[in-house]
Amino acid sequence: MKKLVFFVILFLMSFSVALSSMDAQSIGYKPSCDTSKTTVCTIEIWLAHKHKKNNREIRKFLKSKNLKVLRHTIQYWKPKGGHPPTNIAIGSLVSAKDARLMIDIALQYNDKIDGLILRPLNPPNYVAIATSAWDEQSEILITSEDLIKLRDPKLTTEEFQALYAELTNELENVKKGAKFY
């Protein structure tokens, strides 16, 4: 019974994700990159200072994945600044494959992910790893089990985005009339 309810929720949420993708297209949204290569047009990463020595290697890796790497794409915490936030923001038009890659990068360079940033706060083809740009109400804590579900390679883009929306209670917040900045 739980599986049936889960799949019904996923179906309904994927329908709402499809609508949000159509909304983006209907208002004239055009991605700023060639989405046939990657659905991530903008990526921002904040890493612990210990990774600064690997800057060239990290940039080269990102470029090998067709990600646009600008001077400020990767920023480093101050040497005694503590650990960067352990969250990730994934835009509503990022494919499941690209999102899993972003999650893998976050886990490799930022140790863990225990928070998701609400999608309506960010552009559709955007990813931020370890962002401190938003307040506490913009970040929804998740469990390691939730992260395992998001990393499931069987998820289609629609299923991934629906699960992300479910984990952040996005639909519930929209129903309540929550305002996003």
Cβ(160)–Cβ(88) under 8 Å? no
Residue 126 counted as domain residue: yes
Domain membership flag for residue 43: yes
Structure tokens at 28: 């004239």
- Owning domain of residue 40: 2-175
pLDDT tens for each residue of 47-73: 999 999 999 999 999 999 999 998 889
Which pLDDT value is given to residue 54? Answer: 94
Residue 142 lies in a domain: yes
CB 113 within 8 A of CB 86: yes
Q: Is 41 contained in some domain? A: yes
Domain-embedded: residue 181: no
pTM assigned to the model: 0.81
In a domain, 78, yes or no: yes
Is 159 a member of any domain?
yes
What is the number of domains present in the chain? Answer: 1
Q: How far apart are the first and last CA of the chain?
A: 38
| pLDDT tens track for 6-21 | 333 333 344 344 445 4
In a domain, 171, yes or no: yes
